[in-house]
Structure 1
Amino acid sequence: MPTGTWGGSRFGYGGTALAYNPANNSLFMVGHDWDQMVAEASIPDPVLASNVSELPTSTVLQPFTDVTEGMMSSVGNGNIKVGGLLPFNNKLFGAVYVYYDADGSQKLSHFSSSFALSQIGDAQGMYQVGDGMNVKAGYVSGYMTQIPQEWQSSLGGPAITGNCCIPIVSRTSSGPAALIFNPEDLGKVSPAPTIPLVYYPYEHPLGPWGESISPSNPYFNGTTQIKGVVFPKGTRSLLFLGGSGLGEWCYGTGGITGECYDPIYGSKGNHAYPYANQVFAYDVLELLQVKNGTKKPWEVKPYQTWQFILPFQTEGDLVVKGAAYDPNTQRMFISHKNADNPLVIHVFKVTIPPDLEQDTIPPTPPQNLNLTIIPNG
């Protein structure tokens, strides 16, 4: 992504809430973490390169602006972050969360706007999604994705919203969360209804918050992050992208000399160096059992997780900042944390074996899904 300031922010320390815009073959994303502003950028033809300087540079189509027109501050006190963006029916929908919602009081989370980011008066919100009790704002105020057409009828809606692993574990999901909702319900039904597919309340975490990842605890601890969700068409896999610390879990100050050895993160908090980018894959047929009431949302587990390393990343770091998906070309986009250096967007191709038929038999890992970087030309 280009360097420098574009409107009210820059791409450095940004790349969250990544979303694909089919109207422009472009990407929406949030810029610098301090600003929480949204921009739109082009998608140049990707190349394989050994150095970031050899990559093509995106063109800024719309500079950074507060797409909520100041409304995000109404959801609570303190630091407010844009958790997710979703282009849907020629509108841009979004979700925000209070970063440190100590008393779990946030109720409102979602908004809508036109695709014209700087247009004044088109933002609408904030809206409550979910009942606020079983489904708290900390479960729904993050990443979003559309559901493939072939699954919308059986799942009961056109889109997924979720959030995970944000501060104050009692108000968020302790593991990937996905709830069906219809963005068009915002402003028409209050609160906008949801259909749970998976989430993990404080009483039923995917794994112990204060333990290391191990064969007996393979999925989750206090370092786990979920930054995006993708539902590739032609599959029955719901993919959450993020990662976890794989080393010994420790709570305290990181760094080389802190009580928790962690050369990546020096702040006080959860540590488990080294870290790894991961995909958490769920079988949609099992999620349907939750939707149909035969399983609880916390009773389903990933059928598989995969670790992956992105080009140019620091060894032992977790660099996934966001994920987006283009169903027309089967491209998946992953934004790569790169501090104040140029933000990098990786492009992958979702490939499905030509002889694969959609069936009702539970998958055997790694389940008919290959991701390969798209070469230029």
Structure 2
Amino acid sequence: MSPTMVTERRCTAAATACLIAVVVASFAVICALGGQASAEGTGRTDVRMVPMQRLSVRIGVSDVTPASGAAVRVTVRVRDRRQRAVRRVRVRVTWLRPGNRATKVVRTDRRGVVRSQRRVWGATGTTVRVKVTVTWRGRNVRKWIRLRPQGGSGPGGGGSTTRLQPSDLVYRGAFRLPGESGGSSWEWSGDGLAYRSDGDSDGAGDGYPGSLFGIGHDWQHYVSEVSIPAPVVSADKDPADLPRARTLQPFADVRGDLYPDLGTEIRRSDVEYLPAQGGQSSGKLYLGWGRHLQEGERNATHMWCETDLSDPRPRGPWSVGGLEDYLTCDYLFTVDPAWAAANAPGKLLATGRFRDGGQAGMGPSIFAIAPWQSGDPPAPGTRLPAVTLLRYDSVYTGAEHILHGYHHSDEWSGAAWLTSAGGSGKAAVVFAGTKGTGDCWYGFSDGTVWPDEPPYPPVPPDGERGWWSSGFEGQLLFYDPADLAAVARGDLAADRPQPYAALDLDRYLYHVTGEQQRFHTGALTFDRQRGRLFLIEPLADGDRSIVHVWSVE
């Protein structure tokens, strides 16, 4: 049996984007099982009821109109232990406030969902209680939720962060990448991207200073440095309309002999640049290396090297907190220094990974690290201390707390910590990737489901066995840094943060032509000084990648 065949073969997507952002800033949630609430919680994004006869009941709360007389929506989702929707479960939602009581009784729909929405308070901020009763095969389970207006930054109550919204990103266009160099190319690339503020000192003066380091063809995974031309918006999405970057340093193997067992299997990697930290005398490139199949492995995965690719002097490798490789060795990004100073002192580098099939977590992960705090350099094999900021349940630990709308076919390939350049205080942690929609199954793209045991169905022509969904969308997920601060403090469990918004990326991408096309996006990186976000799109210029640019307004 394939190692990814460890859970359901078909699942149902969560409903609408507004339900991604649950328990927003205008109210808190107070809840307790089996009676009225007795203690204030952290404003969780999800309130899970106890399992009842193999069912898992999840309650989400979202503020639909955060103004005087706000409308609040309660959403109840019922799943079985294989995370499949359960229909026809009786749900009773009762809204109570002084002098008013309203009840809705309904059964879950084909997606296992019931929704109830009410206008619940005015400017006086009246506290509202909601009782949810779920009945299944003669057994009742009840949950009380108390809602009251309050300030704050979101579910985590983690600080004064103002959430950066998708509308704060302005698309500036794209540019092409150079030709071959150093025995590799930008064809079949996209796994890694890093911004260097002091790169390309002899640049064109076009308003786009700095340079980009990136990882090239996925056979070699060499690193090159290129310039950043002023991007252009092509109305026809024609790569010929775009300017081309210049090669500043040709492709080079920066790993040396640190990873003799990496092999030629599908690799997972990224690169990030940081100026000199701690006792370092120069800025470094940080990289992590993994393989597609390494279930249960806890290897030394991370390294650093010099920015001179002709003499990279690689150092490492080190492990991240003794965690599984499936959790740690893919995307790398810089933590907002102000946030790090307050919540994870000195840990300016974030790392994580998403593995399809839910084998490490049913959603992306984030761990903050600081290799320079463990030596200059740390000894090979050092276990780097890590602060967990985001980590969902896996198929091995249960499916109680997972990314809303999760599919086993999802792919999150890049991450960045965005901050506004104009001093507004807006911020978000974003993930770029390919989101499965509709139904999800293990098998082939034509809908053929591969069973656990024989007899097996015929293999379709040109079939690729794996996790599939009815459709795929390029998305940018937005997380609130205040929630991650609450996790770092221990006030919020690491599996509780949820995205509060999502940006459709497909409208900008060049190579997405089919509903079931996978791997829409590659890596991300961010120019914090100027508020510019860079996204690499694979296979957009023939077999070559292109780079898209947004500015944070």
For residues 360-371 of structure 1, the aligned pairs below 5 Å read none
Aligned with 1:138: secondary structure? helix
Identity %: 23
The counterpart of 1:314, out of the listed 512, 534, 541, is 512
Judged with a 3 Å threshold, the aligned counterparts in structure 2 of structure 1 residues 325 and 235 are, in CA distance, closer, same or farther, namely: same
Judged with a 3 Å threshold, the aligned counterparts in structure 2 of structure 1 residues 77 and 69 are, in CA distance, closer, same or farther, namely: closer
The counterpart of 2:466, out of the listed 254, 269, 273, is 269
8 Å CA contact 1:207, 1:221 repeated in 2: no
Please give the alpha-carbon distance, in whole angstroms, between the structure 2 residues aligned to 1:341 and 1:56.
17
The aligned length equals 332
Residue 56, structure 1, aligned to residue 243, structure 2: yes
Question: How far did 1:257 drift?
Answer: 8.7
**Corresponding residue of 2:362:** 174
Question: More strand by proportion, 1 or 2?
Answer: 2
Q: Amino acid of the residue matched to residue 552 of structure 2?
A: V
Judged with a 3 Å threshold, the aligned counterparts in structure 2 of structure 1 residues 206 and 150 are, in CA distance, closer, same or farther, namely: farther
Residue 38, structure 1, aligned to residue 223, structure 2: yes
The counterpart of 2:535, out of the listed 329, 334, 350, is 334
Judged with a 3 Å threshold, the aligned counterparts in structure 2 of structure 1 residues 200 and 160 are, in CA distance, closer, same or farther, namely: farther
Which structure 2 residue ranges, 5 or more long, are not aligned? 1-175, 200-209, 276-282, 420-424, 451-459
Aligned with 1:298: secondary structure? coil
The counterpart of 1:165, out of the listed 354, 367, 370, is 354
Judged with a 3 Å threshold, the aligned counterparts in structure 2 of structure 1 residues 282 and 257 are, in CA distance, closer, same or farther, namely: closer
Larger radius of gyration: 2
Judged with a 3 Å threshold, the aligned counterparts in structure 2 of structure 1 residues 350 and 146 are, in CA distance, closer, same or farther, namely: same
Please give the alpha-carbon distance, in whole angstroms, between the structure 2 residues aligned to 1:196 and 1:334.
25
Question: How far did 1:149 drift?
Answer: 2.4
**Corresponding residue of 1:7:** 182
Q: Amino acid of the residue matched to residue 252 of structure 2?
A: T
For residues 184-263 of structure 1, the aligned pairs below 5 Å read 184-185=372-373, 187-188=377-378, 190-202=382-394, 203-205=397-399, 218-233=404-419, 234-254=425-445
Aligned with 2:439: secondary structure? coil
For residues 55-94 of structure 1, the aligned pairs below 5 Å read 55-74=242-261, 79=265, 81-89=267-275, 90-94=283-287
Please give the alpha-carbon distance, in whole angstroms, between the structure 2 residues aligned to 1:9 and 1:225.
25
Q: Amino acid of the residue matched to residue 290 of structure 2?
A: Y
Judged with a 3 Å threshold, the aligned counterparts in structure 2 of structure 1 residues 205 and 38 are, in CA distance, closer, same or farther, namely: farther
Question: How far did 1:347 drift?
Answer: 0.6
Which is further off, 44-53 or 333-342?
Answer: 333-342
Q: Amino acid of the residue matched to residue 112 of structure 1?
A: W
Please give the alpha-carbon distance, in whole angstroms, between the structure 1 residues aligned to 2:348 and 2:325.
17
Q: For each residue in 1:298-346, what CA deviation from the matched residue of structure 2 results, as whole angstroms up to 9, or x when unmatched?
A: 1222222332222423233441111110011111001112175331110
Judged with a 3 Å threshold, the aligned counterparts in structure 2 of structure 1 residues 168 and 98 are, in CA distance, closer, same or farther, namely: farther
Q: Amino acid of the residue matched to residue 345 of structure 1?
A: V
Judged with a 3 Å threshold, the aligned counterparts in structure 2 of structure 1 residues 204 and 333 are, in CA distance, closer, same or farther, namely: farther
Question: How far did 1:185 drift?
Answer: 3.1
Judged with a 3 Å threshold, the aligned counterparts in structure 2 of structure 1 residues 230 and 243 are, in CA distance, closer, same or farther, namely: same
Question: How far did 1:70 drift?
Answer: 3.1
Q: CA RMSD in A?
A: 2.6
Residue 346, structure 1, aligned to residue 535, structure 2: no
8 Å CA contact 2:177, 2:547 repeated in 1: no
Residue 29, structure 1, aligned to residue 217, structure 2: no
Q: Amino acid of the residue matched to residue 71 of structure 1?
A: L
Please give the alpha-carbon distance, in whole angstroms, between the structure 1 residues aligned to 2:329 and 2:350.
7
Question: How far did 1:21 drift?
Answer: 1.3
Q: TM-score, normalised by structure 1?
A: 0.80
Q: TM-score, normalised by structure 2?
A: 0.56
Q: Amino acid of the residue matched to residue 302 of structure 2?
A: H
Residue 127, structure 1, aligned to residue 329, structure 2: no
Q: Amino acid of the residue matched to residue 72 of structure 1?
A: Y
Which structure 1 residue ranges, 5 or more long, are not aligned? 209-216, 352-377
8 Å CA contact 1:14, 1:31 repeated in 2: yes
Question: How far did 1:137 drift?
Answer: 2.6
Aligned with 1:287: secondary structure? helix
Question: How far did 1:180 drift?
Answer: 1.2
